[in-house]
Amino acid sequence: MTSALTWQQLRDLKLSELDDAADGWAKVSHHADASAERVDAEMAGKLSKTQESESARAAVRRLQRLSRNYHYIHAECGLIRSSVDGLSTELGAPQRRLNDALDDAAALSYTVHEDGSIGYPADGKNEMTGEKIPGGSAVGNNGMLTPDNNGLYPPSDKGLYTPGTGPGTPGLTNPNPNHAKAQDIADRIAHALREAREIDERYRRALSKLKAGPGLKVDAKTWADAAADVKAVGEAATEYLRDDIPLDKSPAARKDWWDHLAQEQREEYLAVYPDVIGNLDGIPATVRDEANRENIQLLIGKLSGQDDEESKTMLDGLKGIQEKLQEPSVPPMYLLGIGDEGNGRAIVSYGNPDTAKNVSAYVPGLSTKLDGEFVGGTMKRAQDTALGAREADPHSSTASIVWLGYDAPQTSPRTSPPTRTSCSGKTPKPEHLHTTASWQESQRRTRTRIHTSRPLGTHTVPSPSAWQLRRRAGSPEPTTSSSSVAPALVRRPPTI
């Protein structure tokens, strides 16, 4: 199905009404988000802490269902808002070009016909008869070599293009001086209408998919559908949003880009591209956490409909992380990256690396993948590191990160551990060990970075007290930095 948008509709379209509609959907999305937080914090949370009866537990389950509904409303309304905003923004350019062409036609007293062709009057002189050269009609060429381009193909044409045979074109050249001007105006109208129709059809397909099923149940199937909705809107909004994301820039440049976005723009990026923003180095940790909390629900919905063992294993890990996110955590838990690439991706920080004075990175090794063991074992080591650092120095803040941003070598009981050579290809590159380059615009203070040394085995990152013991023994001091923008977590690839 193609758009049936006419030049008259494009001319009369009030983009401000689309903007108002987008603002309305944004308000609904904000209200649903605030309601979900209120249900979780002020109702379900307090009830579960103060009441232990079966009726209280039943009430909490009902409140949790209500919260899930609000969360779903927030996500879907955010997508509708972004779609309508994108439609309005992208239609602005072809509408301006159309109106400019119409103004030129009016200034020359040309007639704009219902089909967009331009009628022009007689002018010039026939050298043989001495009479004016008759007027005519110029049919616009929209630049496409397709049968719907009436500037190339007569209505009865079956696909073969013969130059100059389109309706209203008397020949390859026309001596009437009005013809060239009329043809230019007709072509501009055709180009503007073609572009507007492509935009209209792109967003029509996306919006037609944003439909909620009947009932109040928001389950894995619902979120699988929501994941498809995010993908559809993301594809529609590529020119409007995606192309402006500085994917090929440095983390510092990405942070600067994000800092200069309006709040409305940030909300649209979080709604349409949570997978991109949540895994983009340079974006503030709190923003990445927000995006990934949204994206993890979409990933769970996506994988819930798959039956292969790898998907089931990864689903266990995703659900485990989501459960941890819903529980109180000391230090606070931040989800800085999540994905289903390879054996799974997860970057979890205990403590905010954007504000912590000390940051440690733990890169798990052999046989590690995104599964239940990653949640119960690997993540716990990162949390224990943060707690140990706090115990050693209660007056200093620490963020402890577990970084599963690559496919660790997988082993089985029948395989031997990889050698130094075979493992070297799996060593993470240093640029992948940036967590956020927003560490720190304000970072003019000294920051301690604790290096990991064995990425392919279980290890413990030394606590500050251990560093003190090493200094007494004459060992090198930990690496420090006082740059205005934080460097990578690990300056060089960890050695094996």
DSSP states along 62-86 = HHHHHHHHHHHHHHHHHHHHHHHHH
Looking up tokens 């007293």, which residue turns up?
Answer: 109
C-alpha span between 132 and 140 (Å, rounded): 24
Question: Residue 302: pLDDT above 80?
Answer: yes
SS3 475: coil
Contact status, residue 276 vs residue 248, Cβ threshold 8 Å: no
Residue 334: strand pairing partners: 349
pLDDT for res 467:
32
- Per the structure block, which two tokens stand in for 115? 């089909």
Average of per-residue pLDDT across 271-295:
95
101 pLDDT tier (thresholds 50, 70, 90) = very high
**Rounded Cα gap, residues 290 and 295, in angstroms:** 9
Does 483 score more than 50 pLDDT? Answer: no
- Phi–psi pair at 481, nearest 5 degrees: -145, 145
Task: Determine the Cα–Cα distance for residues 404 and 452; give it in Å rounded to an integer.
Answer: 13
Q: How many angstroms separate the Cα of 407 from the Cα of each of 93, 145, 343, 428, 430?
A: 45, 47, 6, 9, 15
pTM of the model: 0.74
Helix, coil or strand: residue 225:
helix
Average pLDDT on 464-485 reads 35
pLDDT range class, residue 245, cuts 50, 70, 90:
very high
Q: Is the dihedral of CA 340, 344, 349, 352 positive or negative?
A: negative
Mean pLDDT (whole number) for 470-474: 37
Tokens of 380: 């716990």
